[in-house]
Amino acid sequence: MKKTALAAIASLMLASSISVGSVSASSKTYTVQPGDTLYRIATQYKITVDELKRLNSLTSNTIRVNQKLVVENKATTSKTVSSINSLQDSKLPTAKPNIQNSVTNNSALMNKVIDTAMPLQGIPYLWAGVTPAGFDCSGFIYYVYNKAGVKVPRLDTIGFFNRSVFVTDPVVGDLLFFQNTYRPGISHIGIYLGDNKFIHAGDKGIDIASLDSSYWNLRFMGYKRFRDIN
C-alpha cells in the first residue's frame, strides 16, 4: 500500500515538474520603433539577423512600426526533458549564422575600393548605368568592386544583398544597405567611408552622404560584406 502511495506521489510530482516547465516557458519581445531595422534590433539583443527572423518566422527583412518581435526565447523545463531535447538536437546539423564578427584581413583591397570610388564623385545618376558615363546605385558597386579586383556579377541591390553577409564591425569599403527608398524592401546600396559616412549613386549622382541624415538613418538596414572578401 505504501509503495503504491509513494508511486502515485512520485508520478504527481513528475507531472507537476513538467507542467511547471511548460508554463514557465517565456519569450522576451520588442516593439518596433520608427527607424528600427532587423540589423539594429539583432545587434541590440546580441543575436544574428537570421536568428531574429527565425524566432519570428519572417521571410523578408521588412518590419513595421509597433510590430512585436520575439528577441529571446527562454524555456525552463525539467532536467529529464532538457536531456531528451539535447540528445535530439545533437543529431541535427548546426547551421552557420549569416554574420561575420571579425574585421576583414584584406585591408589593402578595401582601401583600393575606396581609392576607386572617391574620384568618381560628380558622375551623374543613370538608371542601369555601369560606366563613368553614369551609374545607378548597384551599377556603381559593380564597377568599383570589379575595378578594385573583386569579381562580382552585375546584380541589383537584392542580388548584392544575397551575395553578402552582415558584419558587426564594419570597415571602410564595406557595403551599406537601405530599404524603402524608391520601392518597398531592399532598394539602395552604398560603400562605407567611416565616421557614419558613405559614398553612393544617389539622385545627385555619385556623392557622399551621412547616416546622421534622418532620411538615410530611417531606412538603414545594416552593414554587409561580399562573401568574396576574407
Residue 135: φ, ψ to 5°:
-130, 150
11 as an active site residue: the answer is no
Torsion angle (degrees, nearest 10) of CA 48, 54, 58, 61: 10
200 labelled catalytic: yes
Q: Which of 53, 112, 188, 224 is catalytic?
A: 188
CA 41 and chain centroid, separation: 9
Locus of grid cell 573583386 = 150
SS3 20: helix
What is the CB-side half-sphere exposure of residue 81 using CA atoms within 13 A?
14
Q: What size, in residues, is the chain? A: 230
Of the residues 137, 148, 150, 152, only one is catalytic, namely 137
Give catalytic status of residue 47 as yes or no: no
Active-site option among 53, 200, 219, 224: 200
φ, ψ at 180 (rounded to 5°): 60, 45
Catalytic positions are: 137, 188, 200
